[in-house]
Amino acid sequence: MRIVVFVLLFLSSGLSGKLTISWKENFLRINDDRNPGGALEVWYLEAYCRPGSTDREWNETVIDHKTKLLSATETEIKRRRIRS
């Protein structure tokens, strides 16, 4: 949610600047020359859970997978979940 708010604020601010995104090794990186702290890095974590996940141990709940980057531009990232 914070990422969406961050992106919307900069897109709607009306100030000139270049907003770019990249994704590598489970980190989403948001770059904007208007951000005084430089790039914003977000650790991307996703978990796919089996039915009944609230009644199981974590190691019995999560479905092993990897995320494969399909394509990326400065403004769009496409990826796919692959079961391990």
Classify the phi-psi angles of 26: left when phi > 0, otherwise alpha if psi is within -120 to 50, otherwise beta: left
Higher-pLDDT residue of 71, 83: 71
- In the numeric block, the tokens 């770019």 are attached to 20
Identify the domain containing residue 37 by its residue range.
2-83
Confidence (pTM): 0.55
Q: Express each pLDDT in 4-43 by its tens digit.
A: 555 555 555 555 567 888 888 878 888 887 777 778 888 8
As for how many domains the chain has, the answer is 1
